[in-house]
Every structure is written in structure tokens, then in C-alpha cells.
Amino acid sequence: MKRLETDLHLHLDGSLSIDTVRLLSAQIGYDFEGQGGRKSLVAGDNCESLVDYLKCFDLPGRLLQTEEALELASWHLTEELASQGLILSEIRFAPQLHTGKGLSKEKVLEAVIRGVKKGTEKSRMKAGILLCAMVNGPDRENEETFELAQAYLGKGVVGVDLAGPEGMIPMEHFEPLFLAAGQKDIPFTIHAGECGDYENIIKAVHYGAKRIGHGCAAIRSEACMDLLKKEKITLEMCVVSNLQTKAVPSIEDHPLKAFYDRGIRVTYNTDNMTVSDTTLEKEGELIKKYMGFTEADLRQMNRYALEGAFLEEGEKEKLIAFFDKNNYNEC
């Protein structure tokens, strides 16, 4: 039986298939192959930093500026995820980055909601949308993104996030934003400790985050690891991406297994399927090969992911029951 998997940490603009990019490029008259083709989208082994990694988002950002492009991209992505056998995915993006041609954030979001709905209608996979505030974005724009999330919560949107170049702005700058989200019962995750300090993780948990994007830096602090375990925080880890951005120096140094063995609720995810040239199945096989994880361990991490998902409780219970009943019973 195929492994049932969940991807909690997946960026829309970093996961467009090459075929989708080729199609969208043709629609705007962009010479995709002449401008580097696939190499312009994939970070590869020569990626030197998070800043270098983020350059691969330039073309997708340029392409995703119309309702048609956004709907098609999110449709193709969710259809691909469903075909891979996922039972849940949470797709994140920043609406404010797609208003360059005059679209309102509402129109941007509604196009993505339509695409996600279209991509999942013929499968059992559930898909939710996370809206990202940006570390390097204006405060008012980030506030508007969270207001938009509140308006569409339960209508396709399941929560919010803070993404972008960690450390450019101190984490404490965003405390009021997340305290307000907590008061409005908007679920949130925060990119923290990816290429920044473990103190960012501690701050994010204190602000009320139930999940942390990446969190690699926690390995440098016993107190931080203890906090993650005590508060039952779900870590959304992305091994291939972490290697490319130099969040960790090598796969042998990746803290995923150390966190798991310590009882921290870790999950494995793709981050950006195209930029990192990965899939959830590939991530799973990689950590089995190099970190000593078993199929039973992967099952536990996928259950952690379902338990940490920003789903309505009744829906979550049904999905977990399905997972428990159908997930590789022969193991």
C-alpha cells in the first residue's frame, strides 16, 4: 500500500511545474528556454544561501499576476499533489506579491481558492491555504494580509504565516501582528530558525505559534528544544531545501532525527517542489536512507502533520481516522 502523506509546508510560487511555467511564459511572450529554462527555477547543488535560493522565485512572481495565471497554477499544483497520493496539503503564498498588474488582494486570493478547489474536486485530498506576511514587506500590507485571512477563514484559508529573508527585520517587530492574530483566532505558523537564531523560535512560540517553519536552529539550545516538546509545537522541516539554503551544512548534520528521537513533533515537507527539485516521497526516501528513519517513523511524522494541520476539528478527526485505517497496515 502506498504511503499516505501530508505536506504542511509548501509554497505555491516555488512549486510550479516546468510545464506550467512554460505555458504561462508563452502567454506573456516570455522566452523561457532562452532565458535559462529549467535552470532559472531550480536552486540546484550550487545554491549558496537563502538569498541565492530566493532568486528562483523571480520568474514565478512575474508570471503569477493575473487571475487566470493564479487559478491555473494552483489548479495544476493541487492536481499534481493529489496524483502523488497526498491526503492533505497546505499551500502558502503572499497575495500582496501578485498585485503588480492591478489585481486586488481579494481577487488574487479568490483565484487561488478557485484553482485549489478545481484541483482537489476529483480526489480525496484536502487542501488549505495559508496567507504569508513578508519579513521585508510594509507593516500595513502585512496587516491587510492577515485581515484578508480572517475574512476568508473557513472559505479556503486555514491560517497565516510569516515568510521571507529571516533576520532582515527582528522577530520582535512582528509580535503585535501575531498577538492580534491570536486574539482573532487565526491559526498561524512562523518561519523561524531556518537560517536565523534559535531565539526567533522561542519568540515565535511565545507569540502563540502552534507550528514553526523549519526550526533547524533549535538544535543549538536545550531550552528551545525543551520548549518545543513541552508546548507540543509541530516543526515543519524541509530537508532538501535546508541543505540548499545552508540552514544545515550537510544531511548528516540535519537535526530532524535528533528532534524526533527527543519527542518533538517533527514533520517532513517539500517547501518548494520545483525550486528544490523534490517531492514528498523523495524527502521520505532520503531521510530513510541517510537518517535511519523507518516506515513506522514516517507514519508517525505524517500523523504529527495531520494532528498539527489547521483543519476544522471534525474534519481533522475524520482524516486521522482514515489515515489510521488505511495507512500501510501491513507494516
Residue (of 199, 189, 307, 202) closest to 238 by Cα position: 189
Contact present, 287 and 256 (Cβ < 8 Å): yes
Phi, psi of 242 (to 5 degrees): -60, -35
Query: What is the number of other CB atoms lying within 10 angstroms of the CB of residue 255?
Result: 23
Contact present, 134 and 97 (Cβ < 8 Å): yes
Q: How far apart are CA 129 and CA 262, in angstroms?
A: 30
Please tell me the total number of residues recorded for the chain in this structure. 331
Residue (of 172, 166, 170, 168) closest to 193 by Cα position: 166
* Annotation marks residue 194 as catalytic: yes
Annotated catalytic residue within 5, 79, 194, 283: 194
- Which residues form the catalytic set? 194
